[in-house]
Structure 1
Amino acid sequence: MNEALIVLEQVFILILLMFIGFASIKLKIMELDWYVGVGKFTIYVALPALIFKVITTLGGRSVLLEGKMAVVISVVVIFINFAIGKFVGKISKLEGPTLDTHQSATAMGNLGYIGIPMIAALYSNMGLVVVAIYMIFDLMFNWTMGINFMDQNKNQTREELMRSLITPLNVTLVISLVFLMLNITPSGTVFEVISGLGATTKYLSIAYLGAMLTVVDFSGSHKQLSLYTHAAIKLIAFPVLIYVVAVQFVDPVIAKTFAIIMALPTMPSFPIFATLKGGDHHYAVKITFVGTLTSLVTIPVVTWIMAYI
């Protein structure tokens, strides 16, 4: 099946990069302290650069104005996804920081590294327009509220909460949206440097994940219920449900695109966020690694089910 081959190719790239990060520690080429610095560089420099490049080159505000139904679906599925994350965590009997980390992991889908290349190959321009619209709201909600589920300071004042939202990622998001709405497409040497920095995000974050695998204890993970319920509910049942409902109102390609977006595993840079936000770092590495491997099966299953509904 063509869809399965596309998924396989993208996941293989992730696994290869993780292996490089893992081997660099085991062979003593790099040290974990070096990767801690890489993690901070990724979150504070490379990711903001990637966000700016992606949003400012979407094609201007007409992308939003011409896709009103996709805008509505984007917002709805994001907030339902928040609830799915908490529900799966609760029925899996997770508590405290681990529950919070699970909910954040559910929100942070691997759109850039698996989703976009796969959707581009499957659904061409229409699929990419849907992704562009979804990405705006993904950054607005998942990269703010979604990440902050892991923040263990639950008694923040309003002023503290507002200050916590002033991060390089969120400031970049606001600036990027201003450029988008004003139809400003940057170019030149400075933008070329920004684009180059953004392109490093994929490689740095996945190598980081591979390096962290050297210190995470996976013993007993086969008994960790949340990893199985996450795969069954978040990666299969929820995407199929989205398709079944959405196809009643929009073009089947749009419905399939949203289903694939929701079927994506946790993004590779998520464990870095877990470390910075005070989440359960070891659980973050587990759910990211296991989810990526599981997606090799779950995404083809979702595409196969949609084809026969």
Structure 2
Amino acid sequence: MLTIIKSILSLFLVIVVGVYGEKKGIITNRLNRGLTDLLLQIILPFMIVSSFSFSYTNTIKSNVIKTFYYSFFAYIIVTVFSYLLTWPIKKEKKIILHFANVFTNTGYIGFPILHALYGVEAVIYGSIFNMFFVLFVWTYGIMLFNKKMKKEEFKEELKKTFLNPSIIAVYLGIILMVFDIQLPMVIKESMTSIGNMTAPLSMIIVGVTFSQVNIKAHLRDWTIYYGVVSKIILIPAILYFISIFINDRSIVSNTVIILASMPSATMTSIFAENFDIKKDYAAVMVVATTFLSLFTLPFLLKIII
């Protein structure tokens, strides 16, 4: 428990750095967008590829296959239960809350926590889960916000999905695993050094988001509280009890539960901004679930590990 709390608190302190940078005008909106692109298109893919670069046992190879179908069914289960949980919410707020429930902060917060708890093995399984995140967010996620999307637009988004840097990194990682390819040490160490920037940079970006949201304006909105409870308490509980029901408390099932229990993805506010749907409301959900998860995650991790 102490290790978990230290890991999360250290991430929180880096969030404070992001808040400070934005308040002092050091990190502008343009710079923050650049940092986000740097993280998603370069640093995170390097972390994914480097995590695949080590000797595999038959158990790990078997677990990778298991992670594929566990991740797929986890997204289906969360989507169904989220739809039921958001039934009392209407119109645009329902879209935001449903998206926020299904899509979690796997890269920014999930990967650093997995690495702290289990090491690079869990990052491999997390990369598979993240692959499904990318596939679902650029298909189902887009469809939620843009229900009038034309067939040609959908095909274009699907094409972008399969060419996403994180997905390409998973492709490369799987090739390294299947053919047992060992990268030269100098390349491996360089990739690991770049990948290690994932946690601090991601927390700085979250801190910038924190500092730009007027949370007070939404304190009387009951749907925010309902959405937060659904996201970081009810959905993790559902997945945990399902894992007990199927009698699987392995590192694979724990990895899937942990990543599915992360706070709402920053893509929630990015999509809301892009489609002009409840932008402030979406930002508050991201901030609220991220902040409150600092208190709920230690207890969740203590229970499932």
Q: TM-score, normalised by structure 1?
A: 0.76
The letter for the 2-side match of 1:108 is: T
Kindly indicate whether residue 180 of structure 2 is the aligned counterpart of residue 183 of structure 1.
Answer: yes
Change (3 A) 1:90 1:186: farther
2:216 to 215, 219, 222: 219
d(CA) in 2 for partners of 1:70, 1:200: 25
Mean Cα displacement is larger for which, 62-71 or 199-208? 62-71
The letter for the 1-side match of 2:293 is: S
The letter for the 2-side match of 1:143 is: V
d(CA) in 2 for partners of 1:306, 1:61: 25
Paired position in structure 2 for 1:298? 296
d(CA) in 1 for partners of 2:269, 2:202: 8
1:107 to 99, 103, 110: 103
2:158 to 159, 162, 182: 162
- Please report how far the alpha carbon of residue 239 of structure 1 lies from its aligned counterpart in structure 2 after TM superposition: 2.5
Paired position in structure 2 for 1:145? 136
d(CA) in 2 for partners of 1:224, 1:173: 40
Change (3 A) 1:270 1:52: farther
Q: Give matches, 1:259-270, under 5 Å.
A: 259-266=257-264, 270=267
1:203 to 200, 205, 215: 200
Q: Give matches, 1:47-66, under 5 Å.
A: 47-57=44-54, 59=56, 62-65=59-62
d(CA) in 2 for partners of 1:185, 1:270: 34
Change (3 A) 1:89 1:54: farther
- Please report how far the alpha carbon of residue 142 of structure 1 lies from its aligned counterpart in structure 2 after TM superposition: 0.7
* Contact 1:70/1:133 (8 A) holds in 2: no
Identity fraction in percent? 17
* Contact 2:17/2:204 (8 A) holds in 1: yes
- Please report how far the alpha carbon of residue 44 of structure 1 lies from its aligned counterpart in structure 2 after TM superposition: 1.5
Cα-to-partner distance string for 1:1-52 (whole Å, 9 max, x where unaligned) = x3xx344323322221121111112223343322221122112211221221
CA RMSD of aligned residues (A): 3.5
Paired position in structure 1 for 2:284? 286
SS in 2 for 1:11: helix
d(CA) in 2 for partners of 1:135, 1:83: 22
Change (3 A) 1:296 1:139: closer
d(CA) in 2 for partners of 1:6, 1:62: 26
The letter for the 1-side match of 2:20 is: A
* Contact 1:114/1:264 (8 A) holds in 2: no
The letter for the 2-side match of 1:103 is: F
The letter for the 2-side match of 1:106 is: V
Paired position in structure 2 for 1:76? 73
Mean Cα displacement is larger for which, 219-228 or 37-46? 219-228
Paired position in structure 2 for 1:249? 246
* Contact 1:231/1:298 (8 A) holds in 2: no
The letter for the 2-side match of 1:219 is: K
d(CA) in 2 for partners of 1:275, 1:58: 42
Q: Provide structure 1 residue ranges, at least 5 long, that are not aligned to the other structure.
A: none
Mean Cα displacement is larger for which, 57-66 or 275-284? 275-284
d(CA) in 2 for partners of 1:299, 1:185: 35
Aligned length: 294
Cα-to-partner distance string for 1:194-239 (whole Å, 9 max, x where unaligned) = 2222222222222122123333222332234443233323322332
d(CA) in 1 for partners of 2:234, 2:22: 37
Q: Provide structure 2 residue ranges, at least 5 long, that are not aligned to the other structure.
A: none
Kindly indicate whether residue 6 of structure 2 is the aligned counterpart of residue 9 of structure 1.
Answer: yes
Cα-to-partner distance string for 1:150-195 (whole Å, 9 max, x where unaligned) = 4755224264243222222222222222222222232333333222
* Contact 2:232/2:262 (8 A) holds in 1: yes
